[in-house]
Chains A and B, each alone.
Chain A
């Protein structure tokens, strides 16, 4: 056994540790295991943390500072970055394709996230009833979440939503003629949203776990009082699961902002007919890695960070109004 920081061989037996080097209470013996010699404990902590500390410095904090710097420069990876002040940002607002990418992403987040969460909650409520074979259903509904983000799923989606394929034929049965969603700039975004909604498994499982914690007596009492299913849903279920609802809204919204792979593949690496699926990250990728405008792409990255930060802040601020935690709950 290799001895690193807190090698047991050299540490005195627990009972003798009454006099601590720094912050231990002197005089009486501390309860073993709760108060340790501070310096040794610190060393142990930092050694265990060292992979994360290195990762944070070199892969997260350092790059963030660097990208903030790059966002004020023109940089093509080969010549030295040239300081241009706020030009990347002003160019961005003047760029119609950038505005299109903001529009597409906002639409995707605003439609996709609520629909996905509604589907997740509906299926979770169905599965919350105790029935035979429940774990089978749970697994089967979860499965698309695992494959949904893959290139395979996007390829299948292209096949399902193209002209003359399943979706198109089904529509014709109802007398709707659109001729496939993939080639249609109006419709392709809904094919992308459908692909997202299809992956409702992860929030569903979280909802399910939340629903199981709602005390049954509440429903029984409400039923005795004559509350119908809608009232029970809005006055018991929703408030009781609001913490998990908050968690799901937060996570799904943040993820939706960052969609890339499925939008890229669904549109055959073109970001859609007439930029219809030009999501924000697609444009960031194109500017940075196809057009070698690293400064511009960094500026885009920072704006995304600010947008996600604002949305997170608003959600956290709003939770006071609608999220009921057990202590303060009803």
Chain B
């Protein structure tokens, strides 16, 4: 009896130590996020020097200042542009990458293996070898300062990582399903749309969320291709904030930074299961 309780107590102590350790590491990791939330309610002058994490006397000026916009542009403009690009990217990636993945996973066509190798190769290709010629191309096509250069690649399945993720997933689906559908006289388009796509929902959702978040956070693309403030995304709006303030309005900047992260954090809390599982499988089957 006492031996049993001792064992239980020892296990309880181990669990407690584990949780304390994990929470201590977590505190360090999440400190910047918590600090940002606290700082966004501090008066601008106190943000750098104030020792406390949360202000004793919270103020909301930093947020009210945001309603005035940045350099006469309401911040809703930046949000609308980012949302347009992010949602447009999601639609493009889900459609084009799944079509490509279907061909790799389910259609036996000549040259499939060679193309698959090339596709995997593009996964390792540094984007920076392409930016100059792509810029020249879009400049000749007079597409600078439009959203097209930021979106077109998404509709042409150039995000090899998502194609790869979907291929892996589709290969895992039972063969019997599409064989049965073929016996019933279904063509590829029908099998793709009515059988494979619904079953691939986890892979599609993972790709969609990653795409949304990457597009939302993207900085280099908008920096290269957008040069009218009316077309700026949230990232570029934040950059303007830095540019226009010689003295650095830290309060406004921190508040805006936090607001800019909200869609990402919202998406993450809603879908983190899919995201994390998707990430985990990408490494395992590689």
* A binding-site residues for B, Cβ under 8 Å: 1-8, 11, 13-14, 32-34, 36, 38, 41-46, 48-49, 51-52, 54-56, 58-60, 62-64, 66-67, 70, 77, 123, 126-127, 129, 131-133, 135, 137-144, 146-147, 149-153, 155-157, 159-160, 162-166, 169, 198, 202, 205-206, 208-210, 213, 243-244, 247-248, 254, 257-258, 260-261, 264-265, 268-269, 280-281, 284-285, 288-289, 294, 297-298, 300-302, 304-305, 308-309, 312
Contact = CB atoms under 8 A, between A and B. Distances in A.
A41 to B, nearest CB: 5
A132 B15 contact: yes
Contacts of A45: 103, 107-110, 112
A5 B188 contact: yes
Question: Size band of the B side of the interface?
Answer: 35 or more
Interface stretch (B54-62, B69-77, B197-205, B256-264): B256-264
A64 to B, nearest CB: 6
A14 B224 contact: no
Determine the main DSSP class of A at the interface with B.
helix
Contact of A36 (B108, B153, B254): B108
Contacts of B189: 1-6
Contacts, number: 304
A152 B178 CA distance: 46
A254 B126 contact: yes
Given A141-B26, A150-B217, A51 B48 contact: no
B243 A48 contact: no
Interface string B259-273: 011001100100011
Nearest to A244: B283
Contacts of A14: 182-183
B278 to A, nearest CB: 9
Interface string B109-151: 1101001001100101111111111111101000000000000
A55 B153 contact: yes
Given A48-B103, A147-B264, A304-B129, A294 B48 contact: no
Given A33-B179, A66-B136, A144-B29, A1 B282 contact: no
Contact of A151 (B19, B124, B219): B219
Given A11-B185, A45-B103, A155 B32 contact: no
Nearest 5 A/B pairs, CB to CB? A45-B109, A55-B156, A206-B283, A63-B133, A152-B257
Nearest to B100: A52
A305 B257 contact: no
Contact of A155 (B26, B155, B213, B254): B254
